[in-house]
Structure 1
Amino acid sequence: MTKEKVYTPKQIADELGIGSSTLRKWCLSLEQTGYSFMRSSKDQRLFTSTDLKYLHQFNVLIKEHHFTLKNASMVIYTGFQQQASKSQAPSVLHQEEQKQPFYDEQKEIIQKMSEQLEKQEHFNRALLERLDQRDQKLEERMNERDQNLMKALREIQETKKLIAASQEKKTFLDRLKFWR
């Protein structure tokens, strides 16, 4: 009987590049689906290389495929059960075969969720593109409006200058007439 290497939570968190609180959340989520971890005498979780493998897969599901904790836990636990069922006795295998429709249904649900997520991401990108176009048009309109306002202000100022200049000329001419 060979003794498998055991890892601490800190080692696992460092290996996965996550914080210890994130690892705790992931482990709790996995335990809620039925997955169990080894425990020390102080009730601290201990991890095997198998656990590390499943946690790597969990990390990929969460970070790359944007699965929720619950869905990622279900996928990992399903894979764990299938792996465990391969090494169990035939009577247990028969029980597992009865559960296979459930696993297939879960896989189908996960596949549909992945497709829905992909559609949602596509929709969001299209929406952002439309919003960017709208913002650009609004900015162009505002710039055009500002230019028109500035042009109108310049024309008003020019008109005021002409009126003031013509009144100044009249008063100067009136003065000349006054002295004659």
Structure 2
Amino acid sequence: MSDAKLGQEPAYWTSEVAKKLEVSDSTLRKWCIQLEATGYKFVKGENDSRAFTKHDLKALQLFKQIVKVQRKTKEVASLEVVERYGARQGTPPCNLHRWPFKPMNSKIKLMIWLKVLKK
């Protein structure tokens, strides 16, 4: 774990999380972009770099399970992860303007499902 802290919560950087998940940095970034497109919010540090919390690690472990083991698409995985981990609980570890997260708009959710069904 790095010395980076978000309030009192330990933070992990991309290379640390990629190593824990046993994926490349590039794969992790692609997964994060997919999750963000579906409404998931990561804490951002300087230079817009992501700082991952334990909450994010759990969400990414589920994403990996869905994509690698269950062999579902990244789009479906991101929907499942956002549904389960999209809202955070407890005291925010960073700037308050990022909290609480708004639930994903049902119109966006429908558009994503239609895209998945077309494949």
Question: Normalized against structure 2, the TM-score is what?
Answer: 0.67
Determine the structure 1 residue equivalent to 2:14: 9
The answer to whether structure 1 residue 65 and structure 2 residue 70 are counterparts is yes
CA drift at 1:33: 0.4
1:27 maps to a residue whose letter is C
CA drift at 1:67: 1.0
The structure carrying a bigger helix percent of its residues is 1
2:23 maps to a residue whose letter is I
CA drift at 1:12: 0.2
The list of structure 1 runs, each at least 4 consecutive aligned residues, that deviate by more than 4 angstroms after superposition, is none
Determine the structure 1 residue equivalent to 2:81: 76
Number of aligned residue pairs: give it: 91
Q: Return 5+ residue gaps in structure 1 as ranges.
A: 88-95, 107-112, 114-180
CA drift at 1:80: 1.7
Aligned equivalent of 2:25, options 8, 20, 31? 20
Structure-to-structure mapping, 1:57-136, within 5 angstroms: 57-81=62-86, 84=88
The answer to whether structure 1 residue 37 and structure 2 residue 37 are counterparts is no
Structure whose CA Rg is larger: 1
1:68 maps to a residue whose letter is T
CA distance in 2, matches of 1:58, 1:39: 20
CA distance in 1, matches of 2:59, 2:85: 8
CA drift at 1:39: 1.0
* Structure 2 SS opposite 1:42: helix
Determine the structure 1 residue equivalent to 2:93: none
CA distance in 1, matches of 2:33, 2:82: 12
Deviation larger for 38-47 or 12-21: 38-47
Determine the structure 2 residue equivalent to 1:47: 52
Residues 127-155 of structure 1: per-residue CA shift (max 9 Å, x gap): xxxxxxxxxxxxxxxxxxxxxxxxxxxxx
Bigger relative contact order (CA 8 A; separation at least 6) = 2
Q: CA-atom RMSD, angstroms?
A: 2.6
Q: Return 5+ residue gaps in structure 2 as ranges.
A: 1-6, 91-102
